[in-house]
C-alpha cells in the first residue's frame, strides 16, 4: 500500500532523527536497534507479536537504514534521492528528494508520485508532535538516559511515546542534518516536527510507543542494543550490482509487507 510505504520511509528518517542529535564523531556511526511489537487484535484479525532488528549507518551526506534482512532505505544527498531496496527480490525504486516540493514534477504517467505527494501532505499537515522533558533518569544498557514524553497527534492513529535518550553518545549533528533535511525540509509542516524533536537531547536508547487504532492500543518497544564509531562496510550506501530498478517509489511493495 502506498500510504504504508510512505510511512515506512518517514519512520526510517525519524529513526535517523532520533539517532542524530548529539555532539561530534569523526568516524562513521553504527546503530543496532531491536524492536518488539506486542500481539494485538483488530477487526477480528489477530496479529502475533513480532520482533525485528534494524541497523542504521550514518556518514557524511549519506545514511542507510537496514530493516531486517530484506529491506533497506538509502539516503544519498549527492544523488538527490532515497532508494528503497528489496533484497529478497533484488529490486529497488527511487524517490527524488524534492518529491514533496510543490513545484516537483510527476515522473510516471500513472501519477503515482503525485498521489504520494498528496498522502505525505495529508499525513504531515495533520500531524502534531509535543515533546515534554522530565526529570526522570535511568541507566539503560551502557548509557545514562533521561525520559521525554512525546504526544503524536495524527488522524485516526494518535500515539504516545516514552523516549529515554542519552547524551553519552556523541554524534555530528551537522552531518546528520545535511543527510536528513533534504527530504524532510520539503514535506509540508515537517520543519515544525523537527524543531519540536530537537527538545530531545541526545540519542534515543529506548522508546515505548502506544498507538491507538480502531479502539485498540498497539505497543511497540524499540531499544538501542549497540553503538559504535567505525567504518561502514563497503557498498552499504550503494545499490547492489545486478539489482533491477522498478517503478513505484513509495508504492513499491516492500517484502510483501
Please tell me which of 83-97, 99-113, 128-142 the model is most confident about, judged by mean pLDDT. Answer: 128-142
How confident is the model over 68-75, as a mean pLDDT?
84
d(CA 86, CA 226): 25
Where exactly are the structural domains of the chain?
A: 2-251
How confident is the model over 215-235, as a mean pLDDT?
90
d(CA 215, CA 43): 10
d(CA 251, CA 3): 8
Question: Whole-prediction pTM value?
Answer: 0.71
Tens digit of pLDDT for each residue in 138-191? 999 999 999 999 998 876 778 899 999 998 987 765 555 555 444 455 555 666
Phi and psi (nearest 5°) for 208?
-110, 120
Tens digit of pLDDT for each residue in 121-140? 566 566 788 999 999 999 99
Task: Please tell us whether the domain made up of 2-251 is placed in CATH 3.40.50.300.
Answer: no
Model confidence at 252: pLDDT above 70: no
Give whole-number Cα distances, 87 to 6, 218, 231, in Å: 19, 28, 22
d(CA 197, CA 45): 34
Smallest CA-to-CA distance from 209 within 157, 174, 135 is with: 157
d(CA 101, CA 98): 5
Q: How confident is the model at residue 85 (pLDDT cuts 50, 70, 90)?
A: very high
pLDDT of residue 99: 56
Residue 89 CB neighbour total at 10 angstroms: 16
d(CA 113, CA 251): 9
Amino acid at each position: 500500500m502506498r500510504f504504508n510505504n510512505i510511512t515506512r520511509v518517514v519512520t526510517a528518517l525519524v529513526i535517523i532523527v532520533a539517532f542524530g542529535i548529539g555532539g561530534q564523531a569523526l568516524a562513521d556511526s553504527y546503530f543496532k536497534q531491536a524492536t518488539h511489537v506486542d500481539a494485538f487484535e483488530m477487526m477480528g484479525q489477530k496479529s502475533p507479536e513480532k520482533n525485528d532488528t534494524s541497523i542504521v549507518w550514518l556518514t557524511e551526506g549519506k545514511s542507510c537504514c537496514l530493516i531486517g534482512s530484506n529491506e533497506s532505505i538509502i539516503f544519498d544527498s549527492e544523488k538527490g534521492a532515497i532508494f528503497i531496496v528489496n533484497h529478497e527480490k533484488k529490486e529497488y525504486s527511487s524517490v527524488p528528494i524534492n518529491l514533496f516540493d510543490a513545484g516537483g514534477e510527476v515522473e510516471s504517467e500513472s501519477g503515482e508520485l503525485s498521489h504520494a505527494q498528496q498522502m505525505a501532505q495529508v499525513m504531515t499537515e495533520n500531524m502534531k508532535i509535543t515533546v515534554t522533558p522530565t526529570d526522570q533518569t535511568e541507566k539503560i544498557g551502557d548509557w545514562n538516559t533521561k525520559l521525554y514524553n512525546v504526544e503524536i497527534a495524527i488522524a485516526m492513529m494518535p500515539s504516545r511515546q516514552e523516549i529515554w535518550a542519552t547524551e553519552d553518545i556523541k554524534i555530528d549533528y551537522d552531518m546528520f542534518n545535511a543527510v536528513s533535511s533534504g527530504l524532510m525540509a520539503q514535506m509540508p509542516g515537517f520543519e515544525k516536527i523537527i524543531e519540536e524533536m530537537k527538545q530531545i537531547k541526545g540519542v534515543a536508547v529506548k522508546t515505548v510507543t502506544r498507538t491507538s487504532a480502531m479502539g485498540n492500543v498497539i505497543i511497540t518497544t524499540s531499544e538501542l542494543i549497540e553503538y559504535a564509531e567505525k567504518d561502514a562496510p563497503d557498498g552499504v550506501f550503494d545499490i547492489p550490482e545486478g539489482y533491477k530498478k522498478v517503478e513505484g517509489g513509495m508504492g513499491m511493495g516492500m517484502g510483501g509487507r
